[in-house]
Amino acid sequence: MVVETSAAPRGRTSVRRAPAARGTAAAPRTAAAPARSARSTRTAAGRASALRPAVWLPTLVAVVLVGVGWQVVAAGNPYVLPDLRDVGTALVGDPLLFLQNAWTTLQIALLGLAYGFVAAFVLAVLVSESALLRRAIMPLASVLNVTPVVALAPGLVVAFGFGMTPKVIVTAIITFFPVLANVSTGLRSVPMPVLDVFRTLRASRLEVLTRLRVPSAMPYTLAALRVTLPLSVVGAVVAEFVAAGSSSGLGTLIKTSAANSQLPQMYAAVTCLALLGVLMLGVIAVLERRLLFWHESQQRPRS
């Protein structure tokens, strides 16, 4: 720091900070500016990349081709596929009908996924900690996975009635095994050198689980959610098909529309289901960017 000393008019001494000293003190405050600038530059580059025709044009062309093919088939076979304009008219003509039924289906899907996910995650922790439990439980879980859930639905209706409970159970069973398989694999796939470090430091099993195994299994957990979130919607619709007595839900709407030969309304409900699936995939993509920013899968350049 450069200091200039000068005599004051009345015999006092004054100390004045040189301009260079002010610049030195402000340096730490400005050190974060390049990092923020680089982050904003990457964000702007990502947005610019998403707006490039090479990114969105293939999807647009594919959608247009599918639409043209649909219209060609609908023109020759109106009892197989309705005109897209009729589907759009059914969709916008009574949006409240589709919103209410979509909300019912979404509730069943999320509740079933929540129960199935929690049960599978707890069981995955247990089987990852005990080889005896793994040998006892995993074969039974595999048998449950290959058993057609549709065959269990009538029994669930007899046991729990015509309410939401049997549908939630069916959805939970459908989403259970992918979470169990992925999370148990992730919990056991920790890097051995890091595990040796934890053992050298005499870490307890709980510390190894919470500070090493669970964070290491995060990519596997999100991969399981990427599969099971759309699958939960499928499970909810299947449950609405097989669990008679329900008066709402997109599955019920599809079933009644098909029975009454209302194809535009049926395909409008199918469109709502597809939008629900896309919305869930978008939520998972955001979670992966937020939670797996450190993982190499999120750092690879995207084509």
Spatial contact of 231 and 175, defined as CB atoms under 8 Å apart: yes
What's the rounded Cα separation, in Å, for the pair 63 and 86?
A: 18
Task: Return the half-sphere exposure (C-beta side, CA atoms, 13 A cut-off) of residue 7.
Answer: 3
Cross-strand partners of 14: 6
Other Cβ atoms closer than 10 A to 1: 9
Percent of the chain with pLDDT over 70: 79
Give the integer Cα–Cα distance in Å for 216 and 83.
50
Q: What's the pLDDT score for residue 17? A: 45
Residue 262 contacts residue 91 (beta carbons within 8 Å): no
85-292 folds as MetI-like fold (1.10.3720)
CA gap 224, 208 in Å, rounded:
22
Q: Is 60 left (phi over 0), alpha (psi -120 to 50) or beta?
A: alpha
Q: Which two tokens stand for residue 39?
A: 């982050």
Rounded CA-CA distance 255/250 in Å is 8
* Token pair for 165: 């409970």
What tokens were used for 21?
A: 């000293």
The pLDDT score that the predictor gives to residue 1 is: 42
Separation of first and last alpha carbons in the chain: 51
pLDDT for residue 30 is more than 80: no
Distance, in Å, from the CA atom of 109 to the CA atom of 104, rounded to the nearest integer, reads: 9
Q: Residue 120 class from Cβ within 10 Å (0-12 exposed, 13-18 middle, 19+ buried)?
A: buried
Among 59-63, 245-249, 268-272, name the most confident range. 268-272
Residue 156 has pLDDT above 80, yes or no: yes
pLDDT of residue 34: 55
In the numeric block, which tokens belong to residue 250? Answer: 């997109």
Average pLDDT value for the chain: 80
Cα separation, 217 vs 190, in Å, equals 8
Tokens of 78: 């109106």
**Domain boundaries defined on the chain:** 85-292
Whether the full predicted model's pTM is greater than 0.85, yes or no, is no
Pairwise pLDDT comparison (169 vs 45), residue with the higher score: 169
Task: Please indicate whether residue 269 or residue 157 has the higher confidence score (pLDDT).
Answer: 269
- State how far the Cα of 162 lies from the Cα of 153, in Å rounded to an integer: 11
**Exposed / middle / buried, residue 151 (Cβ in 10 Å: 0-12, 13-18, 19+):** exposed
For the cut 90, the answer to whether the pLDDT of residue 119 exceeds it is yes
